[in-house]
Chain A
Amino acid sequence: MRIRRILVLSSMLLPAISTCSSRSIRMQRGDVPRDVTQVPSETIPDPQIENVIPGSYYVSRDPQNPSRYYYNKVDLNSDGKPEVLVQLRGDLVCGSGGCDTFILQQSNSGYRIISDIALTRAPVIVSQSKTNGWNDLVVYVAGGGIMQGYYVSLQFNGRTYPGNPTSISRLNGKIVGTAYLANADISPGIVLRR
């Protein structure tokens, strides 16, 4: 009811306060890596992935923007078993700083979450460099007050990847690796079923 009231009010206000919309200022583009190979996300739903997404909070109220996910399978620790990069999107799922990306590892009972990385955006670049036997992950950080976006490298600490990329220093130098979830900005993704 409250939301509806806001929306009703909005129709009355739009003509009155739309004078502030005429112009915007484009931010300077960051160092976009051009040498990385781009891999689009998978398109086939994976119930095992959907089963491990935590909680039942990823339920969208907006049919135009359902909770959905993008994923790729990548062997991050060279053990011959691929891990899964999963990024979630949807109504209220993401914030101004980005979206959640989960790193899933195969176990005897299915997947288990080894990392929940907040404030991420597509693509997620799997770097050729490794830390503690795992590939570093390069993600773009922007929004939430960070006006000039930049890349950071997330290094595995033996147990997990850092959960907050904004705590990592800016990555300088050339990025070498493979970009996964590369089409998440243009693909509808896979609707998360609950």
Chain B
Amino acid sequence: MVTTAALTENSRQGINFPIRPCTGPKAWLSPKPRPGCGHAYDETPVGLVVYVRNDPVNYIDPDGRHWTSGLGSSSDRMEDWFDFLVPSPPPLVYGDMPFLGDDGFGGNESPWLKRWNGLSEECRIGLEDAMPAGGASAETAAMLRLKALDRANASSFALQTVVDGSDVDWRMMAAIGIRETGFVNIEQSNGFGRGVFQIDIQQNPSVTGQNAGDLSWAAIWVANYLQQSYDQINGIISFEDPSNLSIAVAASYNRGLPGTITDITRGISPDVKTTRHNYGTNVFNLMSCFN
């Protein structure tokens, strides 16, 4: 069991990146193992430690200078992600690099793009689906997505500790946080969603805005939701492919459990009535980013 003392010590040291094996012990909530898996962020440990020193969830994203507006009319614009990121003095890793030449990097590949291209295909697809680029440049999109991943990774130890002893995979919670908010603590003005995981405080009257905005409290709430969802879905439906159970559990977080079960029992994909028709699959793909 992980103790409070251990958590504090690790947080102090910035050790939030245990390298996990390619295959997890909880196959039903884990992406399939794939060749070459390992930690996606071994190339950039400095940036990760920087995030840990600050507040990763409430982190004020520093790097707005690459941003261009006017990306289209869809509500899924990358611009929307940027709206929550207010410039402030940053612990920049790549942003401090001098601009040389037309591409700003002296003809070399942008560090953001380089790091982006080092991710697994499944992880990239997951991030692209979670944070649609709209008209953003490839570099801007990569930067914002990678920073979301950094925020989630910086909270990985806390998430792992919350789910310790349960069937819930912390990577599913990290993935949900990215899908919902880019792992940023936000308040949704008209939908009542609060916090990294967008817990709806009107639909769940026992949850306060302060609860939902507290990552530790919210993570426990989400873990319980996912555990109950797993118990109910697994008790009713038998899946040949355990991946589909994971997708169904993830989808239920977005669509609600009864509707998810109803759809599956009718032979309908659990994603059909989720946001953008891809919530469960998207979360499943995002989980691969944390292998």
Contacts and interface: CB of A to CB of B under 8 A. Distances in A.
Contacts of A141: 75
A173 interface: no
Interface string A11-31: 011111111111111111110
B203 A54 contact: no
B193 A143 contact: yes
B188 A149 contact: yes
Interface residues of B, number: 89
Contacts of A143: 180, 188, 191, 193, 198, 200, 254, 275
A86 B200 CA distance: 19
Interface in A42-85: 54-55, 57-58, 61-62, 64-65
A151 to B, nearest CB: 10
Contacts of B190: 29-30, 32, 140, 142, 149
Contacts of A91: 204
A18 B252 CA distance: 27
A54 B262 contact: yes
Interface stretch (A104-112, A115-123, A127-135, A153-161): A115-123
A174 interface: no
Nearest to B194: A24
Given A23-B58, A97-B274, A163-B273, A6 B258 contact: no
A23 to B, nearest CB: 5
A12 B4 CA distance: 7
Given A20-B155, A23-B185, A28-B83, A93 B258 contact: yes
B255 interface: yes
A163 B206 CA distance: 28
A6 B146 CA distance: 30
Given A6-B220, A57-B258, A118-B259, A96 B193 contact: yes
Given A2-B166, A21-B216, A30-B190, A119 B84 contact: no
Given A92-B257, A144-B254, A13 B161 contact: yes
Contacts of A121: 191
B228 interface: yes
A9 B275 contact: no
Given A119-B275, A143-B180, A147-B186, A94 B256 contact: yes
Contacts of B215: 17-18, 20-21
Contacts, number: 263
A39 B190 CA distance: 18
Contacts of B220: 6-7, 9-10, 13
Max chain B C-beta neighbours (<10 A), residue from A25, A94, A96, A170:
A96
Contacts of A164: 272-274, 277
A5 interface: yes
A157 to B, nearest CB: 16
Contacts of B223: 6
Contacts of B86: 25
Contact of A24 (B76, B187, B227, B231): B187
Contact of A89 (B73, B198, B203, B279): B203
B275 A146 contact: yes
Nearest to A166: B275
A13 B273 contact: no
A140 B8 CA distance: 42
Given A2-B166, A96-B180, A164-B273, A26 B186 contact: yes
B258 A55 contact: yes
Contacts of A167: 277
Interface string B143-187: 000000000000100100111111110000000000111001111
B262 A55 contact: yes
Interface of A: 2-3, 5-7, 9-10, 12-30, 32, 54-55, 57-58, 61-62, 64-65, 88-89, 91-100, 116, 118-119, 121, 140-150, 163-164, 166-167, 170, 185
Interface of B: 1, 3-4, 7-8, 11, 55-58, 73-76, 80-81, 83-84, 86, 130-131, 155, 158, 161-168, 179-181, 184-195, 197-200, 202-206, 210, 213-217, 220, 223-225, 227-229, 231-232, 252-259, 261-262, 265, 272-277, 279, 282
21 contacts: A2-B166, A6-B220, A9-B165, A10-B216, A16-B7, A17-B215, A20-B155, A21-B215, A24-B195, A27-B186, A61-B228, A65-B206, A94-B200, A95-B253, A95-B256, A118-B273, A119-B274, A144-B275, A147-B186, A147-B188, A164-B274
